[in-house]
Amino acid sequence: MNRETVIARHYTTQELIQIRVQDGIIAALETAPAAAADDLWIAPALVDLQINGYAGVDFQSDNLSLDELTRAARELRAAACTRFFFTLITDHWSKLLERFRRARALREQSRELQDAIAGWHIEGPFLSPVSGFCGAHNPACMIDPTPAHIKELRAVAGGDPLLITVAPERGGAIDAITAAVSLGITVSLGHTNAPVEVLREAVKAGATGFTHLANGCPKDLDRHDNILWRVFETPGLTVSLIPDRIHVSPMLFRLVHRVLKSEAIYYTTDAMSAAGAPPGRYKIGQLELEVGADQIVRLPGKPNFAGSALRPIEGVFRAAQMLGRPWQDVWDGLSTRAAHFMRLSSGIAVGERAHFCLIRARQDELIELGT
């Protein structure tokens, strides 16, 4: 955003405001003249905590380049997402760490990437190997977490925000969660079939999130006792949802919002390399995946979902459609609530970084976007 002054309607208050930006910081915020155009809205830029790849770029590649990573970040920005968590999925531990080191080294070479990559999400290899719960992750590469593994992750991340997904029923998981929290790492539970007692023990140890609820589990669940009901019965968890109408059906999406308070829900695309790219075949690590015109990402010939092809801005509008609400009402799910879960600053206020979007929308249909 090169403009020094912006006039637009605030996405929550609907008031016309004027913002002055200086050196990338919001320096002043005041009521704007009523004569200004009122079809332009302003909202905090989107923050996605689970990006596995984007715009044809696979973050699981051993040969990820600076140009590729920059292209993915720019395409995410064009989809209203100015900050994201670079996500690595299950693989052999040494390979995962090497990719992590490479990605962080690439980020350090670019001011643009330092602004865009707000942190790191390690989704695996500490997950359930059980069919259905493992999702598209390779069970052969999964391991029990130890405090030593956690220290290695913190060493690679340095002081950057770090999120890990853990199945708490794995051996040593509770001790690993305790170690992670002591090192400032945020722990999200996921790809798990843990009993409710184990979920609560994990929360007591410091786990605060649950990764893409209603995914990373079998299609058919026990109606009396399943991971959805157990999460609903476990206080203290903030859950993420993929709002693409595919990974979570509209009916279940609405039910989750009725059971849980909005403050306990944030959205993520869980995007992989096909997101922001045309239908075709794409890679996520060693897996070749097929993406049809319906944007469903599958293992070829199988019904399993494997990441999504959802663009962040589309996630907001689809969430609004599923809930029957204006887009302004759900915007925080993929912006401020996601940011606050990872203790990132976010919002439109004096002193905040100028991470915001300008949106022209009529009848809840996106017309124009600027960041």
**330-354 confidence digits (pLDDT tens):** 999 999 999 999 999 988 999 988 8
**Residue 82 or 361, more confident:** 82
Q: Which domains does the chain have, with CATH numbers?
A: 45-346 (3.20.20.140)
Checking if the pLDDT of 255 tops 70, the result is yes
Name which of 138, 194, 152, 155 is nearest 171 in CA terms: 194
pLDDT band at 308 (very low <50, low <70, confident <90, very high): confident
State in Å, rounded, how far the first CA of the chain is from the last one: 6
Beta bridge partners of 9: 16, 41
The mean of the pLDDT values for the chain is 91
pLDDT of residue 133: 95
pLDDT of residue 33: 77
**269-293 confidence digits (pLDDT tens):** 999 887 866 777 766 666 667 776 6
What would the DSSP string read from start to end of 97-117?
A: HHHHHHHHHHHHT-HHHHHHE
- Residue range 289-308: average pLDDT? 66
pLDDT of residue 1: 43
- Residue range 84-103: average pLDDT? 98
**166-215 confidence digits (pLDDT tens):** 999 999 999 999 999 999 999 999 999 999 999 999 999 999 999 999 99
pLDDT band at 23 (very low <50, low <70, confident <90, very high): confident
The token pair that represents 260 in the structure block:
């849980």
- Residue range 77-102: average pLDDT? 97
- Residue range 25-48: average pLDDT? 85
Please give the share of the chain, as a percent, with pLDDT higher than 70: 88
Angle between helices 147-157 and 173-182 (to 10 degrees): 30
Instruction: Please tell me the distance from the alpha carbon of residue 231 to that of residue 225, in angstroms, as a whole number.
Output: 11
pLDDT of residue 40: 87
Instruction: Please tell me the distance from the alpha carbon of residue 145 to that of residue 36, in angstroms, as a whole number.
Output: 56
**130-154 confidence digits (pLDDT tens):** 999 998 899 999 999 999 999 999 9
pLDDT of residue 2: 47
- Residue range 232-246: average pLDDT? 96
- Which of 19-23, 169-173, 354-358, 361-365 has maximum average pLDDT? 169-173
Angle between helices 66-78 and 93-108 (to 10 degrees): 70
pLDDT of residue 369: 61
pTM of the model: 0.93
